[in-house]
Amino acid sequence: MASALLSAALIVRNEERFLEGCLRSLVDRVDEVVVVDTGSSDRSREIARDLGARVLEHAWNDDFAAARNVSIEGARGSWILYIDADERVVAFDRALVERLLSDRRTICYTVLFRPTTGYTRYREYRLFRRRDDLRFRGVIHESLVPALEALCSRTRLRIGDSPVALDHLGYDGDLRHKHTRNLPLLRARLARDPGHVYCWDQLGLTLHGLGDEAGAEAAWRRAIELVRKARRKALADSLPFLHLAQFLLDAKKHPGDLLDEGCRMFPDNHSLTWLRARGLVESGDHLAAMPLFSELAAIDADAIGAGPLAYDASIFGAQAHAALGLCAFRLGRFAESVAHYARAEALAPDDLEIRAKRAVAQNRARSRPAA
């Protein structure tokens, strides 16, 4: 095993519900699996050993990066794929991966990652060389990126993209236990790094998930203030705009100025475009909303290029056409409404609400055709 090419590295705690599926997805794809158990009281360790993984023990100390780094240090492969128990490898061509990993100029490859069911994929830094100067940082939402950026800045090494694909299942279902676990860790990290936009955004999501709406709104607004002051902005910095706008819309408030600002600052974030169009609909400006929905309806979710963000795939297809159908209906353009609802129904044939709305529009078009 000393000459292993690729190790998979996991950290687990009470993951018996997911772990077997993850490990089976790695069979014949990696040369070894290292599982760092941080104090399971279920059968996680036994499952890992039964499926051939090497299990290491690490006492949990409220630090995801520390546990993740133990898994790196315990690996024997020249390269490491880091993965969690609630994730699955769904696309992996071993021959192609071996060719990629033979490139001496590349230090890391991204993978295509689907964060939850029904979303598009985005790029994550998951496949990297085992080196002493590549370690995770951050007690929560730990990241290898700072170490990668530092390494690339002082060498000629580079980061590439791979076709390896992973699916994440852990955001399906009740997340309250994760929110409860994450809350003190997020607060601890922000106490040390109060300028970390992503953690403020995640604090907002966590507080909202635990029912603290005022705290969630305050966290998102703090994140947005940091984004406004930043000299350089990444597309991921749009997330607090997105989550606060979603929250306000759901509360029947009108985040028009916030959405206008977010869309100006991040014109490539399709989710902000969707929310801006939705806000226009709720304010009664259906005519202004239609070009935005048309823009989204023209995008093929299956063909959208993987970037730094994932999107709810429905905003590009059935729901965009259904929204156009609603706008046309409220503008009295009933034949056009029927056409949009029919397109939405073709894309989502099991959606009874779309079918019913198409029928209503069709009846109205027959009784009073559009001029």
Judged by phi (left if over 0) then psi (alpha if -120 to 50, else beta), residue 45 lies in alpha
Using the predicted structure, report yes or no on whether residue 300 has a pLDDT greater than 70: yes
- Rounded CA-CA distance 188/174 in Å is 24
What is the location of CATH 3.90.550.10 in the chain? 6-168
Answer whether 0.85 is exceeded by the pTM. Answer: yes
- Cα distance between the two ends of the chain: 76
Give Cα 82 to chain centroid, integer Å: 16
Using the predicted structure, report yes or no on whether residue 203 has a pLDDT greater than 80: yes
Most confident option among 187-201, 251-265, 305-319: 187-201
- pLDDT value of residue 256: 80
- pLDDT value of residue 297: 94
Using the predicted structure, report yes or no on whether residue 2 has a pLDDT greater than 60: no
Judged by phi (left if over 0) then psi (alpha if -120 to 50, else beta), residue 346 lies in alpha
- pLDDT value of residue 305: 77
Instruction: Give percent of the chain above pLDDT 70.
Output: 97
Using the predicted structure, report yes or no on whether residue 370 has a pLDDT greater than 70: no
- pLDDT value of residue 315: 93
Whole-angstrom CA distances from 140 to 71, 176, 309 are: 16, 17, 19
pLDDT average, residue stretch 337-364 = 95
Whole-angstrom CA distances from 187 to 60, 139, 151, 175, 193 are: 18, 10, 29, 18, 10
pLDDT average, residue stretch 311-322 = 92
Higher pLDDT residue, 212 or 174? 212
Of the listed ranges 48-57, 143-152, 211-220, 304-313, the one predicted with least confidence: 304-313
Classified by CATH at the fold level, domain 176-367 comes out as: 1.25.40
**CATH architecture for the domain at 6-168:** Alpha-Beta Complex (3.90)
Using the predicted structure, report yes or no on whether residue 82 has a pLDDT greater than 60: yes
Give the list of residues 6+ apart from residue 155 with CB closer than 8 angstroms, or none: 107
Give the list of residues 6+ apart from residue 212 with CB closer than 8 angstroms, or none: none
Give the list of residues 6+ apart from residue 325 with CB closer than 8 angstroms, or none: 337, 338, 339, 340, 341, 344, 354, 357, 358, 361
What one-character DSSP code corresponds to residue 312? B
> Which amino acid type is present at position 104?
R
Question: Nearest to residue 248, comparing CAs of 271, 214, 284, 207?
Answer: 214
Other beta carbons within 10 Å of 150: 12
pLDDT average, residue stretch 356-363 = 96
Determine the number of helices (DSSP H) and then strands (DSSP E) in the chain. Answer: 15, 8
Q: How confident is the model at residue 369 (pLDDT cuts 50, 70, 90)?
A: low
Q: How confident is the model at residue 177 (pLDDT cuts 50, 70, 90)?
A: confident
What is the location of CATH 1.25.40.10 in the chain? 176-367
Of the listed ranges 167-171, 181-185, 227-231, the one predicted with least confidence: 167-171
316 and 310 Cβ atoms separated by less than 8 Å: no
Other beta carbons within 10 Å of 287: 12
